[in-house]
Amino acid sequence: MTNQKVFKPYIIFALLMFCASFIYAQEEEFFEEDDSVTNVFNYGMLVNVQTTETVRKGAFELRILHRFGELDLTDFKSSVVDEFLGFDGSANIRFGFHFGISDNFQIGIGRTKISKVFDFEGKYKLIKQKEFGGTPFSATLYFNTAVSTRSFPEVGPNEFFDDLETPFEYKFSHRFTYNMQFLVSRKFSDKFSLELNPGILVKN
């Protein structure tokens, strides 16, 4: 039987991905001069999920996302000394650098271990939640373009494009992935914020 490898851009709609976080009050004020609510979330990301927050104007942020490797808790030397609690055997790691062009707009670049991916992102805060009779929520647009730099795997003799006649071959466009999210959040109190993250992912 002939093996077929179909490469089409596919779109994943994350229409009902909710992200709720309990956030404890800080000493700083939560309102700007125009009654805009600040610190809906403490940071621009919550675990692996984007939030509506952006980096402040002129601020530079280094963000490291790390997925630990396996640990053998029965072997202290192996897990703590040799593998440094899983850091040395990381399953995946990403370094990201972000800069605030303005208080509402940031840009960034990152590099991920798996697939040796470089990504470029932009994040713009469209709407700010108001405290007194204004907009009841915050909204931010996020866009990311990623390109894989790893070598393409070998293509077998029985792999074709969709027409089942043209032999398949990798193209430069197959290295790209696009991700866009429309983030909507509301700060209900100093300890609780809720966010909705609808998004589109396109992978070649």
Give 120's Cβ-side CA count (13 Å radius): 3
Q: Tell me what pLDDT residue 59 has.
A: 94
Nearest CA-CA partner of 21 in 50, 48, 53, 46: 46
Q: Tell me what pLDDT residue 34 has.
A: 67
177 touches 204 (CB < 8 A)? yes
Query: What would the two tokens of residue 5 be?
Result: 């490898």
The share of the chain scoring above pLDDT 70, in percent, equals 73
- Give the C-alpha separation, 40 to 52, whole Å: 8
pLDDT tens, residue by residue, 15-29: 334 334 333 333 344
Q: Tell me what pLDDT residue 23 has.
A: 38
What global pTM score does this model have?
0.71
pLDDT tens, residue by residue, 51-83: 999 999 999 999 988 777 666 667 666 666 666
Average pLDDT, the chain: 79
Q: Tell me what pLDDT residue 114 has.
A: 84
- Domain ranges in the chain are 10-56+95-203
Output 199-203 pairs: Cβ under 8 A, ≥24 positions apart: 199/12, 199/13, 199/14, 199/17, 200/11, 200/12, 200/13, 201/10, 201/11, 201/12, 201/14, 201/177, 202/9, 202/10, 202/11, 202/177, 202/178, 203/9, 203/10, 203/177, 203/178
pLDDT tens, residue by residue, 168-194: 888 888 899 999 999 999 999 888 999
